[in-house]
Structure 1
């Protein structure tokens, strides 16, 4: 037997959570449970297109702002024809079906630590934050005659501080409608076995009238290294993988910076570099246009043309800085370690997320012995004589007794400002003058295309992650069940990365969905089961004597006070909580 449950995704994005729910399978006493997606709802038209392509389920573009909050966020009145979404609109979006589960992932930008605290308090971002309460209010109003069995609210951890007053409203609304709930934090990497750590906040609520069974936490899985996840992919810019696997075209100076930063480091390591070690050009500070003068030295002469661009006395290196740049700028991640959290601003030049990788898979790299093709100096000792041939040992010498000139300009490098030698039929660097001294070295702001491969000191290629690699780190497949490759709507790489960074990782969503499916199936039989991973949601355990309510961890405290050596005892726990306290046991047994 198969039992189908329905789910609505509010603030659905590109469908990461929906894909995970669709992949989930539960089973109890011969009944197999699955989820069917009623709809995804999001304000972003491209995200809705992505949702439909990835999940195959309908997506409806809806702006859930109230009119007042629309004005506060956008700074102007809504366009003609804009109307506030009502509970009736939400009900119509699901085809007048009432979902068993509702998953909300409201915009997190106003709660995120990436946004300065002062800016987060602005009315613009407060309006964005209020979508948390607005979305939940529409849900309980739209489906009030048959409320969802489970409601989940997912967001960044800092919602508990920056949005604490909003969470109070959320909990009050849920409690008023008969929901027991749990809030806490989890690592999506551990739930889904991802290649990154991604800490998130989750409030999960269970309608006790509909669901008698507890909801248990998913088991913890091993977090994989970045290399395990993206290693099987073809090299960046492989045309078979499409535009999502195109390597970002960075400025030359950014390529150099990445090559100089050690794996696991970031921009701060650049401060330790000795320019002469790498033959970098060094220009003393405090002189010429755009010059920055030292704080502890006399100033240059103040002249009449003291402008920023044309003067040498217009800028100062002021040490009184009360701001420290965030960690992670120009971060180069280790191939063998987990990735940092994939964020919506995953840009190699200014992000503190998962942007660059020390890739050991150098293009066309042969894993040969260091002495391959070794040429020994004429005036130095020779290496040990072995039975090797020319290509694997060191049987070559730099013999100075050359009495002839090689024909046809072998390995000849031609001057840029002189006519070329005759182009011949065997015109390669081994046979003719097929090389040139090109003076067009990229300037700092040029973006070489194709990108350069600069071998870093650790022997790897420090490069930015492609958009496809970020999607795979988030748990998205490189191809969909219908055989089509993963692709996203629009043409903006920055918008693609933003939507990927905002997505719920499908494997983490699948792990959560499987626990909910289990609880739904058990509850339909009016039963309950024991779990080993710990409670996510159980009913509020009330004490008749004190009238107090205990949270999830309070249950363990109650049991321990009665039977410290038998906390896991099913029978004794049941007797204490429901026999001695006189509470009603939800199961039929």
Structure 2
């Protein structure tokens, strides 16, 4: 007989699909998002219910108490460095709500997935409270950061898994699998699966930016190196600069990060006097000209670069895994196809996440990318589920 599991914050079903593929039987799933619930029903089964997990529910209590395993992917936006990264985000409490449910109904194993930001200093209190509560309830707790690219997923996606067990320690020292490249993941997809991708119109501003970005490169003014294209390298879009102005821009790029004033943030504004000392020639008039041209902005008494995002228009590379698939993956201003001036289609994105081609997503691209980007890649979930299965089988065989 298959071991049973119940799923909290099930989303579109990525974690659940991985556990099913490992041989587990789902008995219940819960989520508060009607779009996710509808998609889950279409792909996995009707046993999911739409409820707010902050409240009490008799149906929740019954299904968790009957399950061998409780799996959960509580909202990560508050913990995420890409998201709000807010220790006071109300959604952070849902992680502890998961632990409350587990300790009250005591399934044999609890599996929780979240972003790496959970390990940051600002969020350590949540992790400590989680671990203490589970250990007091008799669970042995294992925590590990796993990279999906090492488990048959064509993307670098590092996530924290917390596994608590009352039937022996579950090892998260998983055997690494050969990497899957973007080319391998997308092999065989025909035009019917890519036609829905967002394409930049020929001759437009964003088309001109895309033509300047090569594989493995991104548009950013605050990083340097072969993989970085600066706005001053695309004069047709951002305007022309001369050689001395580019020297000042590149000097500012370095100086803003090497001599810090604040204890937080990525970089600090730079004074004209300091930049003059660094470069060895007067810079005040040049900085003023660059402000007028839109490459530099005044910040208090100092100067900083405009377009100070870490990277947009990131063009992927065929023979490497993709970067982390997030909810913006279909927008080419964030992620560009390796060869074409377009974003990725829903089906391409689903493949990169490890979903099978018969998995159906909402017709609305916005909803589809949100469900895919928030999902646990099924092959990674399967690898964790297989370790849980080994522990359960070993314990029951004694």
Q: TM-score normalised to the size of structure 1?
A: 0.54
1:90 equivalent in alignment to 2:90: no
Secondary structure at the counterpart of residue 37 of structure 1: strand
Checking the alignment, whether the CA contact within 8 Å between 1:213 and 1:520 is kept in structure 2 is no
Secondary structure at the counterpart of residue 70 of structure 2: strand
Aligned to 2:385: 513
Q: Residues 110 and 323 from structure 1, CA distance in 2 versus in 1: closer, same or farther, beyond 3 angstroms?
A: farther
User: Any stretches of 5+ residues in structure 2 without a counterpart?
Assistant: 221-228, 242-282
The one-character-per-residue Cα deviations of 1:517-548 (angstroms, maximum 9, x if unpaired) are 1221121111xxxxxxxxxxxxxxxxxxxxxx
1:106 equivalent in alignment to 2:84: no
CA distance in 1, matches of 2:234, 2:380: 44
CA distance in 1, matches of 2:311, 2:390: 40
CA distance in 1, matches of 2:308, 2:3: 47
Aligned to 1:266: 218
Aligned to 2:226: none
Checking the alignment, whether the CA contact within 8 Å between 2:297 and 2:305 is kept in structure 1 is no
The one-character-per-residue Cα deviations of 1:216-266 (angstroms, maximum 9, x if unpaired) are 53210011110111121113xx2xx4xx85111446322221121011000
Q: Residues 219 and 326 from structure 1, CA distance in 2 versus in 1: closer, same or farther, beyond 3 angstroms?
A: farther
Offset at 1:213? 6.6
Question: Which structure has more helix as a fraction of its residues?
Answer: 2
CA distance in 1, matches of 2:308, 2:234: 22
Aligned to 1:11: 9
1:165 equivalent in alignment to 2:165: no
Offset at 1:337? 1.2
**Which of 325, 333, 341 is the aligned partner of 1:342?**
325
Aligned to 1:557: none
**Which of 186, 203, 207 is the aligned partner of 1:255?**
207
CA distance in 1, matches of 2:375, 2:27: 19
1:194 equivalent in alignment to 2:153: yes
Aligned to 1:391: none
The one-character-per-residue Cα deviations of 1:126-176 (angstroms, maximum 9, x if unpaired) are x111110012212322x2xxx211111110111012321111111121011
Aligned to 1:487: 360
CA distance in 1, matches of 2:9, 2:395: 28
**Which of 8, 11, 24 is the aligned partner of 1:35?**
24
User: Any stretches of 5+ residues in structure 1 without a counterpart?
Assistant: 25-33, 66-84, 286-293, 301-311, 360-460, 480-485, 527-589
**Which of 225, 229, 236 is the aligned partner of 2:181?**
225
Secondary structure at the counterpart of residue 4 of structure 1: coil
The one-character-per-residue Cα deviations of 1:449-492 (angstroms, maximum 9, x if unpaired) are xxxxxxxxxxxx3431112111110000111xxxxxx3223x43
Secondary structure at the counterpart of residue 113 of structure 2: strand
The one-character-per-residue Cα deviations of 1:306-339 (angstroms, maximum 9, x if unpaired) are xxxxxx9999743623898343311001111111
Aligned to 2:99: 136
The one-character-per-residue Cα deviations of 1:375-403 (angstroms, maximum 9, x if unpaired) are xxxxxxxxxxxxxxxxxxxxxxxxxxxxx
Q: Residues 55 and 506 from structure 1, CA distance in 2 versus in 1: closer, same or farther, beyond 3 angstroms?
A: same
**Which of 374, 387, 390 is the aligned partner of 1:502?**
374
**Which of 43, 46, 49 is the aligned partner of 1:60?**
49
Secondary structure at the counterpart of residue 30 of structure 2: strand
Report how many residues are paired: 341
Checking the alignment, whether the CA contact within 8 Å between 2:199 and 2:342 is kept in structure 1 is no
Secondary structure at the counterpart of residue 219 of structure 1: coil
1:234 equivalent in alignment to 2:190: yes
CA distance in 1, matches of 2:287, 2:308: 28
CA distance in 2, matches of 1:518, 1:281: 57
Matched ranges for 1:383-398 at <5 A:
none
CA distance in 2, matches of 1:245, 1:206: 46
CA distance in 2, matches of 1:468, 1:53: 16
- CA root-mean-square deviation: 2.9
Matched ranges for 1:153-552 at <5 A:
153-161=112-120, 162-191=122-151, 193-207=152-166, 211-212=167-168, 215=171, 217-235=173-191, 238=192, 241=193, 246-250=196-200, 252-268=204-220, 269-271=229-231, 273=233, 275=235, 280=236, 296=285, 317-318=297-298, 320-321=303-304, 325-351=308-334, 355-359=335-339, 461-479=340-358, 486-489=359-362, 491-526=363-398
Secondary structure at the counterpart of residue 285 of structure 2: coil
Q: Residues 298 and 505 from structure 1, CA distance in 2 versus in 1: closer, same or farther, beyond 3 angstroms?
A: closer
- Rg (Cα) greater in structure: 1
Secondary structure at the counterpart of residue 321 of structure 1: strand
